[in-house]
Amino acid sequence: MSDVSPTVAAPAADNVFARLVGVIFSPRATFERIVARPRWFGAMALVFGCLALGQFILLSTESGQEAMLDQQVRQAEQWTGTVTDQQYQAYERMAPYNRYLASGATLVFGPIVSFAIAGILLGIFNALLGGNASYKQVLAILAHGGAVQLLQAAFTLPLNYLRESMSGATNLGVFAQPLLDDTSFAARFLGMIDLFIIWGLIVTAIGLAVLFKRQTTPIFWSLMGVYILIAIGIAGLMRVTSGGA
């Protein structure tokens, strides 16, 4: 009688693409693999490289340049209340160069911000909450959490092209537009609260919970609380600098 080998489940794919997809569809199991073997460079390079490429392509089109001009005008109005003719002309002159500035800023400052946030989180969980994780593990969680940013870009970049506007299409301010004045504090605050950012915080909270063996919900609400405080501060500062509009 021939021997019958037991059926063995094939191990989950562990390349960078599989991990980024896994963060979306099965985050806890994926983060368990990431924590056990933390690798951050490939995920971070892929995420910020794709984001930069998407921005470059969009801002190379006439519709994308119109969208950026619309965003610059909106932001100036939110911060100062008005846009002068000289400012508008300056925005128009910069339109051909925005693709280089935006994509370059993503490639440079995206990783820098990730490095800084990873250090802050590591300090909080290790020094204050008694964790024993490594910086590389935290950085790997943040890098793979960028999968949500890729989905956001895939959704918003084509939409921005079609609308010729980069005004947020996934923030809570969109739902409040019929009810609130765009210059009010409430409208500015809700415009800061983006659904994809909330999703990203959920994913990050799951990763940190796996790494530090804690409950996900308290971590998420702590991150969410910081996000809300930042949004309140920026909305309040906009109100002050625009003359209390």
pLDDT for residue 212 is more than 90: yes
Q: ∠ CA(29), CA(30), CA(34), 5° rounding?
A: 120
- How far apart are alpha carbons 95 and 87 in whole angstroms? 13
| Neighbouring residues of 239: CB distance < 8 A, sequence distance ≥ 6 | 185, 188, 245
- How far apart are alpha carbons 54 and 157 in whole angstroms? 7
pLDDT for residue 4 is more than 90: no
- How far apart are alpha carbons 199 and 41 in whole angstroms? 22
Domain definitions of the chain by residue range = 16-241
pLDDT of residue 12: 58
pLDDT of residue 232: 93
Per-residue pLDDT reduced to its tens digit, 155-191: 999 988 888 777 777 888 877 776 777 777 888 888 8
| Neighbouring residues of 186: CB distance < 8 A, sequence distance ≥ 6 | 176, 180
The dihedrals phi and psi of 194, each to the nearest 5 degrees, come to -100, 135
- How far apart are alpha carbons 78 and 64 in whole angstroms? 21
Cα 71 to chain centroid distance, Å, stands at 18
Query: Average pLDDT in the 35-54 region?
Result: 96
Q: What 3 state SS string does 56-121 have?
A: HHHHCCHHHHHHHHHHHHHHHHHHHCCCCHHHHHHHHHHHHHHHHHHHHHHHHHHHHHHHHHHHHH
- How far apart are alpha carbons 147 and 194 in whole angstroms? 16
Per-residue pLDDT reduced to its tens digit, 70-113: 888 877 777 776 778 888 888 888 888 999 999 999 999 999 99
Instruction: Residue 110: count other Cβ atoms within 10 Å of its Cβ.
Output: 18
| 239: nearest Cα among 57, 79, 58 | 79
The pair of three-digit structure tokens given for residue 76, joined into one six-digit string: 């100036």
Which range has the worst mean pLDDT, 35-39, 86-90, 120-124, 141-145?
86-90
Which pTM value belongs to this model?
Answer: 0.86
Instruction: Residue 86: count other Cβ atoms within 10 Å of its Cβ.
Output: 8
pLDDT of residue 42: 96
Cα 138 to chain centroid distance, Å, stands at 16
